[in-house]
């Protein structure tokens, strides 16, 4: 299960970097947060939810180019 999920994220990260498509990457992050931790995430105030998502987006944006093509996901995950 974990390897399948990691493989999916590798593809998402690579496509986002190669196509400069951060919107799809951000959408995937948001969907997974809501899917994997709905009860925990829903306990947060809506403003805190948005702040958390923004922090994730900023970190992804700053580091997307450091994703190593040779190492693939191992460079991040």
The confidence score (pLDDT) of residue 30 equals 83
- Contact indicator for 55, 46 with CB cutoff of 8 Å: no
Q: For residue range 32-60, what is the model confidence (pLDDT) as tens digits? A: 887 777 778 888 898 998 898 888 888 87
Q: Grade residue 6 by pLDDT with cuts at 50, 70 and 90.
A: low
Of all residues in the chain, what percent are helix, strand and coil, respectively (each to 5)? 85, 0, 15
At 42, phi and psi to the nearest 5? Answer: -70, -15
DSSP 33: H
């Amino acid at each position: 299960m974990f390897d399948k999920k990691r493989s999916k994220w590798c593809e998402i990260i690579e496509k986002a970097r190669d196509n400069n498509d951060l919107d799809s990457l951000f959408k995937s992050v948001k969907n997974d947060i809501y899917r994997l931790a709905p009860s925990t995430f829903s306990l947060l105030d809506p403003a805190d939810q948005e702040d958390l998502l923004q922090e994730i987006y900023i970190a992804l944006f700053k580091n997307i180019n450091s994703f190593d093509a040779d190492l693939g996901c191992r460079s991040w995950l």
